[in-house]
Copies of this chain bind each other. A is one copy, B any other.
C-alpha cells in the first residue's frame, strides 16, 4: 500500500469544502465564499505523528492533538482537534501533533483579523470557537479533578462522540475514533495500564468498546451514568459538602 493512501487532499475551492458547515467560515453565505479565498494561505498534508508548526489552521481530514511535556518526561494531552476545528498553535508552550494522517487549511492570521474587522459575524464565529474550547477545558478539568478513571474515560468518549455526531462523523452506535490507549491516558491523567483497565471494564460490562480505531457504544445510558457519577444520591443530598456557605 502506498505511503500516501490516507492523505486526503483538500478541495481547491472553499465552496466545495466538506467541513465548512462546521468550521469557522460556516457563517459566510455560499454566495460570499469567494471572498475568503485570500485568507487561506495554503494547505498541508501531514503523516500521523508529525509535529504541526503552522500557527493557525482548520482541520480538514484526520485528527490532531495539542499537548505539553512535563519535565519528568510524560505528556499531558490538552485537546483533540477534529475535522472542522480551528487550531491555533498558541504562544504558550503547547505542541500540536497529527494523530492520524491529516490535511488542513492554513490561514493567514493577519488577513483573518482584517476580515473579521469587516465582518462581525465571522468574528462572532471565532469567539464562539474560543468559548467552546474554554467550556471543553472546564469539563475536562472537572473530569480530572473529581471523576475516577472509569468516569473520565466515559466522559471523554461521550465528548468525542458528541463532537463527531454534530459534524456527521458518527451515528448513535459509534464512530471512528483513532485514539490509542496512550492518548486516552495522557489526556485523562492516567497511566496507560490503568486506562487499559478502565476500558476493559467498560468492555466487560457491555457498555462500550474502543478497538482498532473504532468506538462502539453498546449501552449509552450506562456510559452516561458512569460519566455523570453513576449512583446519583437523591436530589436533596446534592448540597456541596465543602465550601458550604
Q: Does A5 contact B (CB under 8 A)?
A: no
B192 & A70 in contact (Cβ 8 Å cutoff) = no
Q: Mark A139-169, 1 if CB is under 8 A from B, else 0.
A: 1111011110000000000000000000000
Bound together, the chains give a CA A1 to CA B206 distance in angstroms of 62
Q: Is the CB of B144 within 8 A of A182?
A: no
Chain copies in the assembled complex: 2
Complex CA distance for A237 and B74, rounded to whole angstroms: 11
Which positions 57-89 of chain A face chain B at CB distance < 8 Å?
66-76, 78-79
The B-contacting residues of A in range 79-107, CB under 8 angstroms, are: 79, 90-92, 94, 97
Does the CB pair A228–B183 fall under 8 Å?
Answer: no
| Size class of the contact patch on chain A | 35 or more
- Interchain CB contact under 8 A, A90 and B135: yes
Distance between Cα atoms of A189 and B140 in the complex (Å) = 12
Decide: A74 and B240 in contact? CB cutoff 8 A.
yes
Residue of B nearest to A243 (CB): B182
Q: Are A73 and B237 in contact (CB under 8 A)?
A: yes
Question: B residues within 8 A CB of A13?
Answer: none
Closest 10 CB pairs of A and B: A145-B189, A49-B245, A137-B137, A144-B144, A130-B130, A76-B142, A117-B120, A71-B229, A182-B242, A76-B145
Residues of A within 8 A of B (CB): 48-49, 66-76, 78-79, 90-92, 94, 97, 113, 116-117, 120, 123-124, 126-127, 130-131, 133-135, 137-142, 144-147, 180, 182-183, 185-189, 192, 228-229, 232-233, 237-243, 245
| Chain A to chain B contacts (Cβ below 8 Å), 17 pairs | A48-B245, A67-B243, A69-B240, A70-B146, A71-B233, A72-B232, A72-B233, A73-B239, A74-B240, A76-B142, A78-B138, A78-B141, A97-B245, A116-B120, A130-B131, A141-B144, A180-B243
